Amino acid sequence: IHFVTDNTAWAGMPNGTYDWTGGRKVVKEDHRVYVVGGTLAGSVASMNFGVGNFTRSTGCSLAEAVKMASLNPALVIGVADRKGSLEPGKDADLVTIDEQVNVYLTMVKGQEVYRADGG
């Protein structure tokens, strides 16, 4: 099993109303986006939200679910030689999470790109 996200362009944006094609407007609320009037327009659920949802729904361990979100997809797309796990010579991409899958730190190629406390 491997995880993917199907995020729309509004992923990572604050909740609010945004312009869309054809003069329509969409509303982003937490993990979903809908066209003003009620039709679902897509998902903005983050990977950590999906991992947490999967572990709660299935009883799968967090460690196994994280593998499904990291190493398994890297194997599927043929980049496991540099992505998906922490090993010498790999890209050093890292996400630090807690038991509730809250993200505290993200590093890409060994460089800090996000810290929850803003520091």
Whole-model pTM: value is 0.78
* Active site annotation includes 6: yes
Give the domain extent around 102: 47-115
- Residues of the chain falling short of pLDDT 70: 118-119
Structure confidence at residue 119 (pLDDT) = 52
Whether 29 is covered by a domain: the verdict is no
Residues linked to residue 64 through DSSP beta bridges, in sequence order: none
Structure confidence at residue 118 (pLDDT) = 60
Whether 28 is covered by a domain: the verdict is no
Whether 10 is covered by a domain: the verdict is no
Q: Which of 6, 30, 81, 93 is catalytic?
A: 6
pLDDT 10s digits, 63-86:
999 999 999 999 999 999 999 999
What is the C-alpha to C-alpha distance for residues 110 and 117, in angstroms, rounded to an integer?
19
84-92, Cβ contacts within 8 angstroms, sequence gap of 24 or more: none
Number of domains observed in the structure of the chain: 1
Whether 72 is covered by a domain: the verdict is yes
Is 28 buried (19+), middle (13-18) or exposed (0-12) by CB count in 10 A?
buried
Structure confidence at residue 6 (pLDDT) = 81
Whether 31 is covered by a domain: the verdict is no
Whether 107 is covered by a domain: the verdict is yes
